[in-house]
Structure formats: C-alpha cells, structure tokens
Structure 1
Amino acid sequence: MKFGLFYEHQIPRPWHDGAEHKLFQDALAQVELADTLGFDYIWEVEHHFLEEYSHSSAPEVFLAACSQRTTQIRLGHGIVLMPPAYNHPARVAERIATLDLVSNGRVEWGTGESASRMELDGFNVDPKCKREMWAECTRETAKMMCQSPYAGYAGQYFSMPTRNVIPKPLQTPHPPPWVACSSRDSLRYAARYGLGALTFAFVDANEAKFWVEEYYEIFEKECEPLTQRVNPNIAMVSGFSCHDDEETAIARGLDGLRFFRFGLAHYYHNGSQIPGETDVWQLYKQTPQDPAESRAGIGTPDQIRAHLEIMEDAGVDQVVFIQQAGANRHEDICESLELFAERVLPDFKARDAVHVEKKNERLAEATERAEGRKPALTSLSEIPTVDSYPVLRQKLEQKTEETNNEMSDDGKNFLLSIEGGKRISND
C-alpha cells in the first residue's frame, strides 16, 4: 500500500498579513520533506471561492513549484475541475503535459466536477449537466494529449477545430487518470470508466473491503475506458497525526480533521456563506462535536499501523493523509511525518511491491480487454489548412473577384474588419 498527502490549503480566520504566504511556503516545505522521507504521492485540489476551507485555486502552479523541490514523489492533481467553464480542455491538456515534462514524468491526472454552489454558480456551470460535461471534456482532453494533431470536436458542451495541442506529456499516452469519488455510486462509474478512484469519503476501515471488492469486480467485468489509459487503483483518505503520546496526537490533529469535515459540510450541504464576511472557523468553534467520532489515522505509531493494516488487508492501493487541515501547525505536521516515516512506513514499503505484482497478475486479462475498448481516435483523411488572417483576406478577395462580387454583406464586412491579423473599426 502506498501513501499520499492531501492539500486543500486551509487557513481559518482571522487572517493576518502574510498568512497565505506562510501557508504556501509551509506546504512546499512539507512536500519537500515528504519526498525525502519516502512518501509516494501528494494530491492538490482545485477549488474556487471556498474561503478558509480551500485556498487552492491554482494547483498547477503549486505542483510546478513542488516539481522543482522534489525528485521522487508523484504529483497528483486531486482534482482538475473538467467542465469547460472552469478549464477549457485544451488548456488542461497543455498544463498537464507541461507539468509532466518539468517533473520528469511524475504527474497523476485527477479529474472531477465540484458540487458546491459557490463554485458552480461562480463559473455559471449548470449542476444538472456537470457529470456529462466532465465525461465529455475528460475524454477529449485525453485524446488531445496523445493525438497529433487532435482531430477536433463538435460536442454538446464544447467544440474546437483541428489543432495540434502541444506540448505532449512525457508519460504515454498520458498520465494516469483518476476521478474524485464521494460515494459508492461514483466509485462504480470510476471502475466502469477505467479510472483510479480518489475516494474522498471517510470510509471506515472495516467497510473499505466492500468498496474495494465492488470496484475491482466492476473493472474486471464492465470496464469501458473513458480515456486512452486505464488506471485500476483505489485511494482512500484518512486523518493523520502521529505522536508517541496518544493525547498529544489527538490535541495536535483532531481539531483540524473536524474542521475539514465541518468546512466540507458547510460549503456542500448545510451552510450559508456571505463572501468575504462569513467566519467559517467561528461557526465551527460554536458547533458541538461528537466525542465518539472516528479518529482513524490519529494516534501513536502502533495505533496508526493497526488502522492501516486493516486498509491494506482490504486491498486499498493508497491511503491519502489529511494533515494540513484547520489550524494544524506546520511544525507538528513535519514531526508527525518524520515519526511515521521512521516507525510505520518501512513495513508497508516492504510489502507494497508484492501487492502491486500480484494485483497486476490478477488484472492482466481484464486490463488487456479494457485497453481494447478505449475511445477511438478520429482519423483525418486530410488535415485542414489554417491560414493567417492576411492570407485568408487574400483568398477571400480572390474568391470575391471570381464570383463577381456576389459575396454577402457579412462577408464584405469581414474582409474590411481584418488587416494584418488585427480587427479594425469600419467607422
């Protein structure tokens, strides 16, 4: 089983001068430390307008910075918002490929939609169609990363003409694809589409095996890939705070995990927000907490090991720790990472290679079948020529003469409006 770190970039109010600067610099230092300690992944979200809960609105920038301070750790978009009002598919393909090149092929391409009104309304995304937007744009973005040129597309939610989308990623045909999953239903379509499942629901360790079994059963029997690469993997999130003294681990980590859950519910389920004014941290502090809630991942090295061994036995491929949450201190986070790497990580590292080998053997036939069902790449009998505006003007003028000036008024106005690639006034 592998291990990752999850970043929302949470920063509760009140905000002092330099707070966001410190937040990002601390996170970079944590990622650099995690790389040296042997962690396998970092996952960086994309969210917009979710004050205090997530200040990670430009994950491609943060991950690019991480790529230059690390050498081994995988750099996961967890996730890219795929509806085109957030990110045009061509821009996603360009950014993913560029990050893959500058990181020497370490990118993981997580995808998703978002479900918060703050984000959907902010970008004018119709919530009734967001799943279809995600599927359409994810499928076409994958084609852009491996087709030269991309044949173009006329779809329901976005269209573009034939273009060669460059650069191309180092990993071929493109980085491993994932999708955010918050329920068993979304886990099922991840399996059917051949995508890694980034399971952001807090699944009880003893329930994890049922999620894993269903995911892999569907992958083996029903997979119809959405992208040009299948990635049968399941990752699950967990709280995290590691200390030799259990009470210290709880004091350092539980409040942050609780705020993570509270902020999620606030923006997605039961909250109301006045942009720039609502103090989510104070709302959280005023809310009674359940003393019996799960503290999985928070405790001594032995307690955390026992929790993770249940996940490992269930067949979970990766556990992603939520350590940068709420008001958790940078120094405490680093100390937890170091202690975990010293006392817990080595045993799992030693067993992971065997797990991966057995899984690959078990899934070999299913993976081969799925690869044969990938979406077809459109073949172009002739690649269209794209003239610069001056050349287009010359051709249109020539055509005008040949047709005895029978061009429409709109066509004539267009000829007048372009000169040297610039649009000019007709006044």
Structure 2
Amino acid sequence: MKFGIFIDLQLPKPWSQGAESKLFNEALEQVELADRLGIDYVWVQEHHFLDEYCHSSAPEAFLGACTQRTKRIRLGHGIVVMNPNFNHPARIAERLSTLDILSGGRLEWGTGESGSRIELEGFGVDFIDKRPMWEEALRETAKMMSMNPYPGFRGKYFSMPHRNVIPKPVQKPHPPIWSACSNRDSLKLAAQLGVGALTFAFVNSEEARFWVNEYYQTFKKECQPIGQAVNPQVAMLSGFMCHEDHDTALKLGQEGAQFFAFGLGHYWRDGTHIPGRTNLWEEFKKRPSSTDKEIERQRKKAGMRGIGNPEYLIENFRALEDAGVDQLILLQQCGNYRHEDICRSMELFAKEVLPQFKKREIEREVKRNEKLAPYIAQALQNIPELSMMNEIPPIEAYPLMWKKNGGEAQQTTPDRRPGMTAYWQMQVGGKRTKK
C-alpha cells in the first residue's frame, strides 16, 4: 500500500495578520519533508469560499511551487473542479500539461464536480447539472491533451472551435485520472469510467474491503473509459497523528480530525453560513456533548484509526492493506494542528511505520499489475478511436478577416479622439497608416 498526504489548508479563526502566508509556507515545508521521507503522493484540494475549512482555492499554483521543491513525490490534484463555470476545459488541459512538464512527469489528475451550495451557486452551477458537466468536460479535456490539433466541440455545457491546446504533457496520453468519490455509487462510476477512486469518505477496513472488491469487479466487467487511458486504483483517506505515546497522539490529533468532520457537515449537510462572518471554529467548540460523542464514535470507527502510536497505526493500516486499498491518504494537517507536531508525526511515521509497508508494496504492485493486465487491455479496446481532422481550416487574424469581408463597409463609428483613428483603423479595419 502506498501513502499520500492531504493539503486542505485549514485555518480556524481568529485570523491574525500573516496567518494565511504562514499556513501556505508551512504546508510547502510539509510537502518537501514528505518527499524526503519517501511518502509517495501529495494531494491538494480545490475549494472556494469555504472559510476556515479550506483555503486551497488555487491548487495549480500551490502544485507549481511543489514542482520546484520536490524530486520524487507524485503531485496530485485532489481534486481539480471540472465544471466549465469554475475552470474552462482548455485551461485545465494547459495547466495540467504545464505542471506535468515542470514536475518531470509526476502529476496525478484528480477530478471532481464540487458539491456545496456555496461553491456551486457562487459559480452559477445548478446542482443537477454538476455530474453531466463533469463528464463532458473530463472527456474533452483528455482529448485536448492527446490530439494535435483538438478538433473542437459543441456540447451542452461548453463549446469551442478547433485549436491545438499546448503544451502537451510528459505522460502520454495524459496524466493518470482519478475521481473524487464520497459513496459507493460514485466509486462504482469511477470503475465504469476507468479512473482511480479518491474516496474522501472515512471507512473502516471491513467497509474498505467491500468497496475495493466492488470497484475492481466493476472495472473488470463494465469499464468504458472516459479518458484515453485507464487508472484502476482505490485511494482512501485517514485521520493522522503519530506519536511515541498513544495518549499524546490522541490529545494532539483528535480535535483536528473532529473539526475536519464538523466542517464537512457544516458546508455539505446541515450548516447555515454567513460568508465572512460565521466563526466555524467557535461553533465547533460550542457543539453539544452529545454531538461530540457521536463524532468521536464515528471517527474512532474509521478516521481516528490513523491517530496513535506506531504500533497502533501499523495494525490498523495493515488491515486496510489486507482489504486491498492501493493508497492511504493521511490527513496530516487540520484544525489547529501545530506545524512542529505535524513534522514530528511525519518523521516518526517514516521511521517506524512506512518501512513495514514499503517492501511488500513493491512485490504487491508487480502481482497486482500481472492480474489486472488482461482487464486493462480489454478496457483499452473500449476507448473510441480519436477522430482526427483530415483538413484543418486556417484561422485568419482579425484584420485579414475583416478585409476579406468588406473591411470599411463593416466599420462602426471610429474613435475621434486625436491619434486614435489610425489605431482604430488598424485594429478594426485591417488598415495600417504608412510611415
């Protein structure tokens, strides 16, 4: 089983001057440390307008910094929102390819729809449109990175003419695709589309075994790839804090993990939010004891099993490995975790826990790839052949186009300010005054 870390950039109130800068810089130091320690992945969220819960609204910029500070770790969008109202597909393709080049082919392309009302309506997306928007944009973005030129598209949610979308990624035909999954239905859809499942819901080892088996059975029998390649993998999230003393780990880690769960509930299920005014941390601290006990019970069932001493983590992580989980993503920063505690936790994990899994992972991956090879080959046969353009229509610059279409006959009233007429003629009419 491989391991990743999760960059959520949580920042509970009250906010002091420079707090966001400090948070971002410390997160970059954590990524550098993870790279040195041999952790396999870093996943960076994209969320918008979620005060305190997630200040990671431009993951492509954060990942750009990571490309220059790391050498080995895989750099993952966890996720990039694919809805065209958030991000135009061509811009996504350009950014992904740029990151893949800058990282030397280490990018992972996690995708998602977004789900909170605050985010969707902030960008003018109707909740019922988010799934088909994601599918349409994902399919076409994969083509943009794979075709020269991209032949264009007329769809329900976005359209564009033929263009050569550049640069192209190092990884061919495009970086590995993943999809955010919060329930069994979305996990099954990921398998049907041939993309990795990023399961950001906490599950225990018994549930994980069921989810993993269902994913791979679906992939083997029903895969119709949405991209130009397949990426059959299942990654799951776990709370995380490692300390030599188990009780100290719980003391350092429980509250942050509970705040993470509380924030999910606030923005996605049962919260009422006043932008720029609601104090999420204050509400969290005032929660009723009955709610606190329920949160603790749920997290002990799943997410809290990554909080403890090395022996406790080895036991619980081994159960997830035995359940078939391909990657465990560690929620190393949340709530009011201190940077110093995070770094010590990661260092102890790398010293005492990670080596227990590294050797087995190499052997496991070889066996896994051998078993999946015929099913991957079968899935690749189901990718429709790309329809390349036989004749590529030329695109004339505006002045040439206007001149061909009648030039001055199409002109509207020029700007009469001194010196502007010639500029207007050059820009609109295709004319340039002789020197």
Superposed pair shares fold, TM > 0.5: yes
With over 3 angstroms needed to count, the CA separation of the structure-2 counterparts of 1:422 and 1:57, relative to structure 1, is farther
Q: Partners of 1:165 and 1:137 in 2: how far apart?
A: 14
Report 1:135-284 matches (<5 A).
135-284=135-284
Q: Partners of 1:111 and 1:195 in 2: how far apart?
A: 10
Corresponding residue of 1:292? 297
Unmatched tracts of structure 1, length 5 or more? 401-410
Corresponding residue of 2:419? none
What is the Cα deviation at residue 419 of structure 1? 4.5
Corresponding residue of 1:96? 96
Report 1:18-417 matches (<5 A).
18-287=18-287, 288=289, 289-290=292-293, 291-293=296-298, 294=300, 295-397=304-406, 412=410
Superposed CA deviations along residues 213-265 of structure 1, whole A, max 9, x for unmatched, are 00000000000000111000000000000001011101111111000000011
What is the Cα deviation at residue 33 of structure 1? 0.5
SS in 2 for 1:206: helix
- Given that 1:389 and 1:420 are in contact with CA atoms closer than 8 Å, whether structure 2 keeps it comes out as no
User: Which range moved further: 214-223 or 411-420?
Assistant: 411-420
Q: Partners of 2:428 and 2:108 in 1: how far apart?
A: 40
Structure with more of its chain in helix, by fraction: 2
Q: Partners of 1:140 and 1:416 in 2: how far apart?
A: 40
- Given that 1:226 and 1:375 are in contact with CA atoms closer than 8 Å, whether structure 2 keeps it comes out as no
- Given that 2:402 and 2:428 are in contact with CA atoms closer than 8 Å, whether structure 1 keeps it comes out as no
Superposed CA deviations along residues 304-325 of structure 1, whole A, max 9, x for unmatched, are 0000000000110000000110
Q: Partners of 1:375 and 1:85 in 2: how far apart?
A: 27
Corresponding residue of 1:405? none
Q: Partners of 1:420 and 1:106 in 2: how far apart?
A: 46
The CA RMSD measured in Å over matched residues stands at 1.7
Q: Partners of 2:121 and 2:46 in 1: how far apart?
A: 16
Q: Partners of 1:120 and 1:421 in 2: how far apart?
A: 38
What is the Cα deviation at residue 377 of structure 1? 1.7
User: If the length of structure 2 is used for normalisation, what is the TM-score?
Assistant: 0.92
Q: Partners of 2:255 and 2:49 in 1: how far apart?
A: 23
Unmatched tracts of structure 2, length 5 or more? 416-423, 431-435
State the AA in 2 paired with 1:72: R
What is the Cα deviation at residue 422 of structure 1? 5.2
Q: Partners of 1:320 and 1:366 in 2: how far apart?
A: 26
What is the Cα deviation at residue 369 of structure 1? 1.0
SS in 1 for 2:249: helix
Corresponding residue of 1:403? none
With over 3 angstroms needed to count, the CA separation of the structure-2 counterparts of 1:422 and 1:24, relative to structure 1, is farther
SS in 2 for 1:235: strand
Q: Partners of 1:413 and 1:56 in 2: how far apart?
A: 46
SS in 2 for 1:311: helix
What is the Cα deviation at residue 185 of structure 1? 0.3
With over 3 angstroms needed to count, the CA separation of the structure-2 counterparts of 1:90 and 1:328, relative to structure 1, is same
With over 3 angstroms needed to count, the CA separation of the structure-2 counterparts of 1:375 and 1:264, relative to structure 1, is farther
What is the Cα deviation at residue 413 of structure 1? 5.1
State the AA in 2 paired with 1:131: R
SS in 2 for 1:207: helix
**When the two structures are aligned, how many residues end up with a matched partner?**
413
With over 3 angstroms needed to count, the CA separation of the structure-2 counterparts of 1:36 and 1:385, relative to structure 1, is same
State the AA in 1 paired with 2:346: L
Q: Partners of 2:413 and 2:347 in 1: how far apart?
A: 67
With over 3 angstroms needed to count, the CA separation of the structure-2 counterparts of 1:73 and 1:414, relative to structure 1, is farther
Superposed CA deviations along residues 346-374 of structure 1, whole A, max 9, x for unmatched, are 12011111111111111111101111112
Superposed CA deviations along residues 169-211 of structure 1, whole A, max 9, x for unmatched, are 0110000000000000000000000000000010112211000
With over 3 angstroms needed to count, the CA separation of the structure-2 counterparts of 1:2 and 1:113, relative to structure 1, is same
With over 3 angstroms needed to count, the CA separation of the structure-2 counterparts of 1:206 and 1:416, relative to structure 1, is same
Detail structure 1 runs of 4+ shifted over 6 Å in the superposition.
Answer: 414-418
Report 1:414-425 matches (<5 A).
419-421=425-427
Q: Partners of 1:356 and 1:48 in 2: how far apart?
A: 36
Q: Partners of 1:73 and 1:24 in 2: how far apart?
A: 18
What is the Cα deviation at residue 97 of structure 1? 0.2
User: If the length of structure 1 is used for normalisation, what is the TM-score?
Assistant: 0.94
State the AA in 1 paired with 2:94: E
State the AA in 2 paired with 1:231: N
What is the Cα deviation at residue 397 of structure 1? 2.0
Superposed CA deviations along residues 62-101 of structure 1, whole A, max 9, x for unmatched, are 0110111100000000000001000000000000000000
Q: Partners of 2:181 and 2:67 in 1: how far apart?
A: 26
Q: Partners of 1:414 and 1:180 in 2: how far apart?
A: 50
Q: Partners of 1:161 and 1:394 in 2: how far apart?
A: 22
- Given that 1:259 and 1:284 are in contact with CA atoms closer than 8 Å, whether structure 2 keeps it comes out as yes
- Given that 1:12 and 1:52 are in contact with CA atoms closer than 8 Å, whether structure 2 keeps it comes out as yes
What is the Cα deviation at residue 296 of structure 1? 0.9
With over 3 angstroms needed to count, the CA separation of the structure-2 counterparts of 1:338 and 1:386, relative to structure 1, is same
SS in 1 for 2:205: coil
